[in-house]
């Protein structure tokens, strides 16, 4: 049950959002046991964001994951998410943050895991 929230100061067209959604759905499989069938995504575009003192294109992906994963899996996902935003939104890779939060209890369908 992963969740990825992407915030950027770039605009994301409907077409680009669908491409990013598809690519992130594929990328989540870099975390063993995770698939797009449980992935929730959200996008916040045109945000007022500053990084390194200016408002040049930048983004942050906040990944929440039920359970945990090995460091090398997180490294692979970071590389994939960074590549996706760089290629699809023209954001330089050194202006993208990716954060991870491992969740011990996750609610769904009226109950908890």
Distance, in Å, from the CA atom of 58 to the CA atom of 90, rounded to the nearest integer, reads: 9
Instruction: Tell me what pLDDT residue 62 has.
Output: 98
CB of 59 within 8 A of CB of 85? yes
3-112 under CATH 3.30.429.10, yes or no:
yes
pLDDT digits (tens, 9 = 90+) for 55-97: 999 999 999 999 999 999 999 999 999 999 999 999 999 999 9
Phi-psi group of 76: left, alpha or beta (phi > 0 → left; psi -120 to 50 → alpha; rest → beta):
alpha
Instruction: Tell me what pLDDT residue 81 has.
Output: 98
Instruction: Tell me what pLDDT residue 111 has.
Output: 97
Q: How confident is the model at residue 22 (pLDDT cuts 50, 70, 90)?
A: very high
Distance, in Å, from the CA atom of 99 to the CA atom of 37, rounded to the nearest integer, reads: 22
Domain parsing of the chain, residue ranges: 3-112
Distance, in Å, from the CA atom of 33 to the CA atom of 79, rounded to the nearest integer, reads: 19
- Rounded to two decimals, what is the model's pTM? 0.96
């Amino acid at each position: 049950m992963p969740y990825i929230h992407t915030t950027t100061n770039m605009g994301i067209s409907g077409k680009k959002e669908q491409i990013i959604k598809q690519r992130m759905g594929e990328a989540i499989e870099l975390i063993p046991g995770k698939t797009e069938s449980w992935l929730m995504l959200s996008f916040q575009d045109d945000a007022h964001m500053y990084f390194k003192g200016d408002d040049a294109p930048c983004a942050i992906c906040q990944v929440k994951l039920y359970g945990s994963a090995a460091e090398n899996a997180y490294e692979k996902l970071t590389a994939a998410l960074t590549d996706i935003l760089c290629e699809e939104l023209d954001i330089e890779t050194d202006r993208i943050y990716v954060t991870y939060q491992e969740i011990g209890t996750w609610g769904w369908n009226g109950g908890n895991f």
